[in-house]
Amino acid sequence: MPLPIRITFLGTAGSAPTKERNLPSVAIEYDGSTYLFDCGEGTQRQMSTYSLNPYRIKGIFITHIHGDHVIGLAGLVRTLALTKRTEPLYLFVPKGEESKVMPLLTFDRALISYKIIIKGVKSGEIFKGKGFSVMAFKLKHSIPTYGFAFKEDDRYRFDKEKSKRLGLKGDAFSKLVSRGSIKIRNKTIQLKDVAEKVMGRKVVYAADTRPAQTTIEAAKDAEILIHETTYTDEFRNLAKERLHSTAAEGATVAKNAKAKRLIIFHMSARYKSAEPLIKEAKKVFKNTTQAYDGMQITI
């Protein structure tokens, strides 16, 4: 049975927080560890509000170093040191921006009890965990920005009857998966003849960005695409100028990617309600939800 992937929206506003919405951060919990995608100001408090244990954070993936996505790191890394954490923390930022996040970690000469391993992100696989990997893909924004795909490893579902008949047992299964074929009783067994490939589930996070072909490719057949939609269509020129997306643009990306579900977030503070955004997005892609702070989805 696949492990649950639990997604918690810790912050769903864009640029400035409101009473109801904090700045961007999305947590993915998988197999006892937590991975944060962006870390807007106040993220650690949001974790406490929604009962997420910050000490379980293994990696933080920063899309870009605009303040609304990164300033929460300053407090969070210090809190993690209060319990004398020793486990290293992986921090991913776009390549070339590594030195720019350093002041947030060091300006007060805080004593950090653990290692913060900063990795410069480029397109491709950037993190490999047990049973999953994280891929980065380039986004279109005013500074270097990457989206992330959290992808479970593909698995093989074996036909029990056939496997038994052919004498497959013990480590023969894993050998067959890694080699593609093995010999048993002088007979060559092909993986494809006894097992069916089950694609791993994929959750894709894209902020801040104009609609991008790279997102469509990364989100192909994704269970969930989380895409920023800062504006309604009325402000489409502003979206272009500031390199953000409108609700309809985010929905078009989901549609073209054939994603199963779209969650929109990073709403401009000018909107009192998400209604106009969700309405416009649903016209293009029906299975759309507007994220709110504290929203949880388990797949």
Query: Which amino acids are annotated catalytic?
Result: 68
Question: What character string, x for contact with Zn ion (CB under 5 A) and - otherwise, covers 83-112?
Answer: ------------------------------
* Residue appearing with tokens 């920005």: 145
Work out which of 41, 152, 208, 249 binds Zn ion, going by CB under 5 A: 208
* Residue appearing with tokens 């997005």: 281
Question: Is residue 41 at the binding interface for Zn ion, with CB under 5 A as the rule?
Answer: no
Angle at 129 between CA 33 and CA 85, to 5 degrees: 45
CA distance 213 to 143: 18
Q: Cβ(120)–Cβ(102) under 8 Å?
A: no
CA distance 178 to 141: 39
Structure tokens at 58: 């293994």
Stretch that binds Zn ion, among 7-15, 176-184, 198-206, 280-288 (CB under 5 A): 7-15
Min dist. Cβ of residue 225 to Zn ion (A): 17
Q: Cβ(288)–Cβ(281) under 8 Å?
A: yes
Min dist. Cβ of residue 288 to Zn ion (A): 20
CA distance 299 to 201: 8
Min dist. Cβ of residue 208 to Zn ion (A): 4
Work out which of 68, 97, 152, 280 binds Zn ion, going by CB under 5 A: 68
Total chain residues near Zn ion (CB under 5 A): 4
Question: Is residue 151 at the binding interface for Zn ion, with CB under 5 A as the rule?
Answer: no
Q: Which of helix, strand or coil describes residue 104?
A: helix
Min dist. Cβ of residue 63 to Zn ion (A): 8
Stretch that binds Zn ion, among 28-36, 64-72, 129-137, 171-179 (CB under 5 A): 64-72
CA distance 131 to 249: 32
Work out which of 66, 85, 138, 282 binds Zn ion, going by CB under 5 A: 66
- Tell me whether strands 57-61 and 89-94 are parallel, antiparallel or unpaired: parallel
- Tell me whether strands 181-184 and 132-138 are parallel, antiparallel or unpaired: unpaired
Closer to Zn ion by Cβ: residue 56 or 236 = 236
Question: What character string, x for contact with Zn ion (CB under 5 A) and - otherwise, covers 11-30?
Answer: ---x----------------
**Site residues (CB under 5 A) for Zn ion?**
14, 66, 68, 208
